[in-house]
A and B are shown apart, each in its own frame.
Chain A
């Protein structure tokens, strides 16, 4: 293989890994919200969380399908969206740990949604200019949906933060619990360096200032302070992007995958 061929192959591997990350983020964020269907505090909120979960699931399906097809071009073996969602083990998922954090209570869910959708909005806004047409197309749709998701989370942050003493304490606790997992969203590694050089992806650090600006506004509207809990990394400084997850993730996967694994090929 000549030098150019080797570079192209390396870039492909990185792009596949990158698209897979985005797909895993959307899939796991969607599954966590899906757990709340029929359990939200109000009927309207039940519908809202289910709708947001559905948008994220749609994004996940597009992204995982895209990653599977890119991989097929490289290896000749196709993994479908279902293969990727249901037949990988915990260490093979590269979602950020933020999206897998348990719901705990409504304020925890809103805190996770605020931090994640604020980030994903900036990410997809930037990815509309991706050199990869498929990724740019997915981003063009996702950014509009994320615009509604982050607004939903920001409005609840205000209601809870500026509500009763109880709701305020819970909102603070939710933010404190999720905050340690936010550094991971903006960390660069081999994959992000490769895709940002190739123009297919973005350097995540570039997204941070706009995310902080959005967050500062939401927190200030809610009368809440900037969270100060220290970052938490996994063993050896590793995290979700390395396939190292929190304890809660194994339980999530067991529930998400058990039907498909118990009845391979089952269809409605």
Chain B
């Protein structure tokens, strides 16, 4: 591995480990929103990320946190670039990310992301607390853009679900 490759791998690892500001149990790698890392001839590092939703208000915090984390490790010439295409989808959340979400009481997305315009029929969502499948959608829009509000008919607990997108 060349020095350049080692440096990019280090930067990538640092950016990947930045936690999501709204769901700090998962990081940028888990959510699949880190797209890549590059360095130009002048030594400026570019980190490319993609938003989950167009209006995701966490993007500014994510950009600031990436810069801060890299600065702590001596990388001060950093640019964070936002890329829209290809559009993010919940399919990009890693298996590790899904496991962490469920462990913290947020039901991960079920099944593959629907094609736009396809009937939005939610598959059974498993209660992250008691494991029952007898759950009900309370509201398709929850505490953040990417989540819906559910309630478990078995243990009666409400919970968030990352809705397929």
Contacts and interface: CB of A to CB of B under 8 A. Distances in A.
Contact of A148 (B51, B85, B86, B140): B140
B85 A55 contact: no
Contact of B139 (A48, A54, A144, A145): A48
Interface in B107-165: 114, 116-118, 120, 138-143, 145, 149, 163, 165
Nearest to A147: B116
A137 B116 CA distance: 15
A62 B85 CA distance: 13
A137 B163 CA distance: 21
A44 B138 contact: yes
Contact of A55 (B138, B145, B149, B163): B145
A192 interface: no
A121 B117 contact: yes
B117 A147 contact: yes
A145 B120 contact: no
A140 B87 contact: yes
A146 B116 CA distance: 8
B136 to A, nearest CB: 13
A136 interface: yes
Nearest to B113: A144
Contacts of B139: 44-45, 47-48
B56 to A, nearest CB: 7
B104 to A, nearest CB: 20
A138 B145 CA distance: 17
A180 B44 CA distance: 54
A5 to B, nearest CB: 29
B117 A59 contact: no
Given A48-B140, A136-B85, A54 B116 contact: no
Interface string B23-56: 0000000000000000000000000000101111
B84 interface: yes
B141 A47 contact: yes
B84 A54 contact: no
B119 to A, nearest CB: 8
Interface string A120-139: 01000100000001101110
B55 A57 contact: yes
A62 B165 CA distance: 19
Contacts of A62: 54, 84
A52 interface: yes
B142 A47 contact: yes
Contacts of A206: none
Contacts of A145: 53-54
B57 A138 contact: no
B141 A59 contact: no
Nearest to B84: A137
Contacts of B116: 121, 125, 143-144, 146-147
A55 B117 contact: no
A141 interface: yes
A144 B51 CA distance: 13
Contact of A142 (B54, B88, B118, B120): B54
Contacts of A96: none
23 contacts: A44-B138, A45-B139, A47-B143, A54-B53, A54-B145, A58-B55, A58-B56, A59-B54, A61-B55, A62-B54, A121-B116, A125-B116, A137-B87, A140-B84, A140-B85, A140-B86, A144-B116, A145-B53, A146-B116, A147-B116, A147-B117, A148-B163, A152-B140
Interface of B: 51, 53-57, 83-89, 114, 116-118, 120, 138-143, 145, 149, 163, 165
Closest 9 CB pairs of A and B: A58-B55, A58-B54, A137-B85, A137-B84, A48-B141, A44-B139, A54-B55, A140-B87, A51-B141
